[in-house]
Amino acid sequence: MTKPAVRRIGQPSIDPNPFDRYLENVKRNWPESSLVSFAKICRIDVDATAPKFAQRPEQKWVPVRDLSKALKDQETDFYGTLAVWSKENRLLVEQWGMELDTGDYYRLFYCVNNQKITDVESTSWRLELDENSSKDTGWGYVHRWSLGSDGKFTTVSRGFIDLNEKPTPEPKLDADTQQGLNEEAVGMKTLADLKIPKQMTQ
């Protein structure tokens, strides 16, 4: 059976702000290359099934039809979005969060198999905003883990990227930022730990 063609709208966004670019690409139905790459690890085709979405203006996820009102619905400096794809007993989860007072963003990918998290990728974004410039600069730090046979997560890869998700040399970091990146770890173990609304995982 031939898979139906997925309708893309226009061209992928080239917005330098990673979260704004993500929201625009969701609207245009252009999955980002980082998502497609991680989805292969989960053995899920993001074009074969529609995701379910949620927003978190405060502490609790609220399911929504799409993310078109994500920024308009923002009620706090701490905010998040969620997208979930499912196939049989497997899930692919993409979560975004931000702290607008600092300009920091993060993106998390999870593979879930039979209620257990098996692979995780974290990207910590640091935007350097210049009020005198219309162009955002900054970097991202990508860290991927996989669950070993011993039940512990081990690092598969990590490194710095620019705002277009291309590899870049390590930027100059202050001691606290460096320590925070060095101490990154996977705290979630199961689907229940993610606190996703049940209607999004069924």
Q: Where are the domains of the chain?
A: 18-200
Structure confidence by residue, pLDDT tens digits, 36-54: 999 999 999 999 989 999 9
Q: Which residue has the higher pLDDT, 99 or 187?
A: 187
Residue 18 pLDDT level (bands cut at 50, 70, 90) = very high
CA distance 56 to 81: 6
Phi, psi of 6 (to 5 degrees): -90, 135
Structure confidence by residue, pLDDT tens digits, 183-200: 999 999 999 999 999 999
* pLDDT for 158 beyond 90: yes
Percent residues over pLDDT 70 in the chain: 87
Q: What is the DSSP letter of 10?
A: S
What is the model's pTM? 0.91
> CB neighbours of 83 closer than 8 A, spacing ≥ 6?
26, 51, 52, 53, 67, 93, 94, 95
> CB neighbours of 140 closer than 8 A, spacing ≥ 6?
18, 123, 124, 125, 126, 160, 161, 162, 163, 165
> So what's the pLDDT on residue 98?
80
Distances (CA, A) of 48 to 114, 145, 153: 20, 25, 29
